[in-house]
Amino acid sequence: MQYLFVGAGQAGTQIVDQIFAHDNIDLRAEPLAFNSTIQDLERLNNIPQDRWYGVSESDGLVSGTVRGFEEQVTGGFGQTPTKADRVMRRNEGEVHRVLDEVYEELEADPSTLQYAFVFLGLGGGTGCGIAPHIARQIRSYAESEMDIVSMAVLPNTKLVNQGAQVDDDAALDNQIQQCENAVFGLDNLEDEVESIMLVDNQRLALDVAEGNEYSEYNRYVADAFLDIVLGAERERTDVQLDVQMQDVDLQDLIRFIDGDGFRAGYATVGRGVRQTESLLGYLLPGSIGRQPIQETGLIADSIDKQTLDGFSPNDATSAVAVAQAPGWCWDDKSIALGSVYDELGYYCANVNAGWAVTKRNLASVTTAFGFDREDIDRIAEIERIAEREGQA
């Protein structure tokens, strides 16, 4: 097993659940879900119960298959990451026990672990409190050098931004609290992982965010994340696909958005996708029904749809792209990697790209842009709001 996908807290486990909705993901990857709220674990469709771990005040990490799971995991750190953090400190080493269990059951060799991906919502208590500990312990468990990439959800702050017109004090305080949690989470996480990909809930329409209707957004970020981190590799896991790919590997792509070696690098992602064949194309052989595709449009879409509010590609230090399309798109040059480099090179000097031929009737370009934390205005905004805590 080469890849470990870890969800921490509600948002984190939901995104991992979406990732494992993909058919061929689990050949080389294993999901783990950690949460303090059993009801949230029970909502998972694609992560089996023996990969659930409850985070319990009294009992540390409790396996989802243990008798009395419900009694031990009594739920929620109520948006207080310091509480979740304390539980993990008191139970240092429990993540190693969990990994022992997983590897033993799979009869797998821990030295094959190359990458861990850790997902969390930064606004809450559980994910923020436990994710940095999980990352650190995975690294110390691995028997060889490995990379850890995190995907972290920024809270929306629309009410705070509306300021005086808001009369719902509780909701306003809640957003301020979430910002404080986010700063706590990022500060701790960036010491433990190579890169942090941000998913900003501010990009959601207010009614979607308020209705806790995240499934579509989760699906989108799950797809974009997989494209960037596994890219062509993912196609290769399905042996029937007979995929050709450029030998830019995962290692190169991840290193690209790596930080300075001490602190994590930050990144955002976005994905542009088009159908390459009209409905007619599914029914008739040959080139009938083929839709014209141009990579410039796909790149523009991927930039428009970056997962950060106020995103500006000009502030990026690096850019990574993964282009995927059916063979004929590459043959007739409707997609060319050279123009991907050209387009992205317009924004920043460091560009890297990988590509894959797929048998699906889709063409996509997924881009990730790398940033230093200091250059992300949205984090600065969240830090400012967090400082208001207590004065609101």
Ligand X SMILES: Nc1nc2c(ncn2[C@@H]2O[C@H](COP(=O)(O)OP(=O)(O)OP(=O)(O)O)[C@@H](O)[C@H]2O)c(=O)[nH]1
Site residues (CB under 6 A) for ligand X?
Answer: 9-11, 14, 36-37, 76-79, 121, 123-127, 153, 155, 178, 199, 201, 214, 217-218
User: Which of ligand X, Mg ion, none lies near 218, with the C-beta cut-off 5 to 8 A by kind?
Assistant: ligand X
Phi/psi of residue 166, nearest 5 degrees: -85, 130
Least separation in angstroms between residue 287's CB and ligand X is 40
CA distances from 344 to 308, 309, 311, 316, 317 (A): 18, 20, 15, 11, 11
C-beta of residue 369 within 8 angstroms of C-beta of residue 267: yes
By CB under 5 A, residue 181 contacts Mg ion: no
Least separation in angstroms between residue 124's CB and ligand X is 2
User: Which of ligand X, Mg ion, none lies near 121, with the C-beta cut-off 5 to 8 A by kind?
Assistant: ligand X
User: Which of Mg ion, ligand X, none lies near 93, with the C-beta cut-off 5 to 8 A by kind?
Assistant: none
The piece of 23-31, 34-42, 178-186, 248-256 that touches Mg ion (CB under 5 A) is 34-42
Report the distance separating Cα 38 and Cα 246, nearest Å.
43
The piece of 7-15, 153-161, 255-263, 284-292 that touches Mg ion (CB under 5 A) is 7-15
Using CB under 5 A, pick the residue from 6, 8, 10, 381 that binds Mg ion. 10
C-beta of residue 37 within 8 angstroms of C-beta of residue 79: no
Report the distance separating Cα 138 and Cα 323, nearest Å.
31
Measured from the CB atom, is 41 or 250 closer to ligand X?
41
Measured from the CB atom, is 10 or 306 closer to Mg ion?
10
Bridge-partner residues for 368, per DSSP? 269, 320
R_g (Cα) of the chain, nearest Å: 21
Longest dimension (CA), the chain: 67
User: Which of ligand X, Mg ion, none lies near 312, with the C-beta cut-off 5 to 8 A by kind?
Assistant: none
The piece of 37-45, 194-202, 339-347, 355-363 that touches Mg ion (CB under 5 A) is 37-45
Measured from the CB atom, is 153 or 322 closer to ligand X?
153
By CB under 5 A, residue 37 contacts Mg ion: yes
C-beta of residue 44 within 8 angstroms of C-beta of residue 154: no
Least separation in angstroms between residue 252's CB and ligand X is 28
Report the distance separating Cα 109 and Cα 351, nearest Å.
35
Give which of 367, 370, 115 is closest to 263, Cα–Cα.
370
Measured from the CB atom, is 79 or 350 closer to ligand X?
79
The piece of 4-12, 213-221, 305-313, 364-372 that touches Mg ion (CB under 5 A) is 4-12
The piece of 36-44, 110-118, 241-249, 324-332 that touches Mg ion (CB under 5 A) is 36-44
User: Which of Mg ion, ligand X, none lies near 123, with the C-beta cut-off 5 to 8 A by kind?
Assistant: ligand X
Least separation in angstroms between residue 263's CB and ligand X is 23
47: left (phi over 0), alpha (psi -120 to 50) or beta: beta
Least separation in angstroms between residue 155's CB and ligand X is 4
Task: DSSP for 196-245, please give it.
Answer: EEEEEGGGS-HHHHHTT--HHHHHHHHHHHHHHHTHHHHHHTSGGG---B
Measured from the CB atom, is 78 or 338 closer to ligand X?
78
Measured from the CB atom, is 129 or 270 closer to Mg ion?
129
CA distances from 358 to 14, 200, 270, 368 (A): 27, 30, 19, 20
Return the residue nearest Mg ion (CB atom): 10
User: Which of ligand X, Mg ion, none lies near 119, with the C-beta cut-off 5 to 8 A by kind?
Assistant: none
Least separation in angstroms between residue 223's CB and ligand X is 14
Report the distance separating Cα 154 and Cα 141, nearest Å.
29
Q: Tell me, what DSSP letter sits at residue 134?
A: H
Residue numbers at the binding site for Mg ion (CB under 5 A): 10, 37
